[in-house]
Amino acid sequence: MSKVQEIMKSTTKAEKLFWYKGNREFFRYTPKQHPKAKFIPFVDIDVEVDENQSDLNKIRVKKAPAAFRGNISCEVTLEPSFRSIWVTEHLQVAVPPKHDPALTVDVIRKYENATSIGLATWHQGLRTRNEQATEETNNIVNLGDTIVAKCSAGPSTPPVALKFLINDDSTDMYRGVSIKQELKDDGDNRTATTIMTMNVTLQHSHFSGRKIVIKCKASLYHLYNATSNEVKKESPRETVLTAAGYGDNNSRRLHCGIGFEIMVLLTLILILLSSSSATVFRL
């Protein structure tokens, strides 16, 4: 249920005032009769009108379900001509979610090649135990990994507005971000759950220091404004160096360590092969 206050206001002095939902009268105000205010209950819609706070200028609805939305009309009889004016407006009844938005974040790993000659298998096989343990930790991410974040809020009517934040900034500030939104009907044909999915292929710009913080916000008019739990990820300290002055003004991270070890191994293999060839030649 939600509160709808002062549905419409009339600025003209009226003799009588009648309110309708569609063609059905549900409230009238007649100053020369007793009682002045009279609410006519609906049979199929649970609506409450505050008669003490309603008059010739307004009607105050304390309680209204989603089924109350639709065309609302008021008919005003004017003094002294008794001419009638009929005005119709569409009423939207907002039913906000009862809970904060929920956020889940998954990571799709993409290990970079150790060298430019296709040694990805070597790269993975020669990781140190420490690096393997670190990558198994859920909050560790690397450049090139893809973050898949899903935020959901509801049920509500109308659907809530969702937006993702990366390091407290709008996703519009970042490249490589794709967002898709869908609505899931909750079965009553009146409320829906809003689901938004964000895919981010991690680049240098997505990190603040070594960390990236993701959360989402949901809002519905002035009735609902909530923030999800935040999810923090960070890059591994062992495989990232910060090179000041490299490239643009922002420092860039250089992946090293594994590639260097492989290059050393290749060099040793070449030396051994060269030594073996030299021995056979002397024979």
My answer on whether 106 and 233 are in the same domain is yes
My answer on whether 52 and 11 are in the same domain is yes
Among 36-40, 139-143, 145-149, 234-238, the range scoring the smallest mean pLDDT is 234-238
Name all contacts of 261-264 with Cβ < 8 Å and 24+ positions apart.
261/126, 262/114, 262/115, 262/119, 262/122, 262/123, 262/126, 263/115
- pLDDT higher at 47 or 176: 47
CATH number of domain containing 215:
2.60.40.10
CA distance 113 to 119: 6
Give the chain's domain count.
2
CA distance 141 to 128: 17
Tens digits of residue pLDDT in 154-175: 899 889 999 999 999 988 878 7
Residue 119 belongs to a domain:
no
Is the pLDDT score of 94 beyond 50?
A: yes
Quick check: helix, strand or coil at residue 24? Answer: strand
Predicted TM-score (pTM) above 0.85: no
Contact 166, 176 (CB under 8 A): no
Residue 218 belongs to a domain:
yes
Is the pLDDT score of 251 beyond 80?
A: no
Among 16-20, 21-25, 243-247, the range scoring the smallest mean pLDDT is 243-247
The chain-wide mean pLDDT, for the chain, equals 76
My answer on whether 106 and 87 are in the same domain is no
| Host domain of residue 75 | 2-91
Residue 126 belongs to a domain:
no
My answer on whether 232 and 147 are in the same domain is yes
Name, of 25-34, 121-130, 231-240, the range with top average pLDDT. Answer: 25-34
The CA radius of gyration of the chain, in Å to the nearest whole number, is: 33
Residue 169 belongs to a domain:
yes
Name, of 1-10, 121-130, 207-216, 230-239, the range with top average pLDDT. Answer: 207-216
CA distance 196 to 179: 7
Contact 20, 63 (CB under 8 A): no
My answer on whether 169 and 73 are in the same domain is no
CA distance 103 to 216: 7
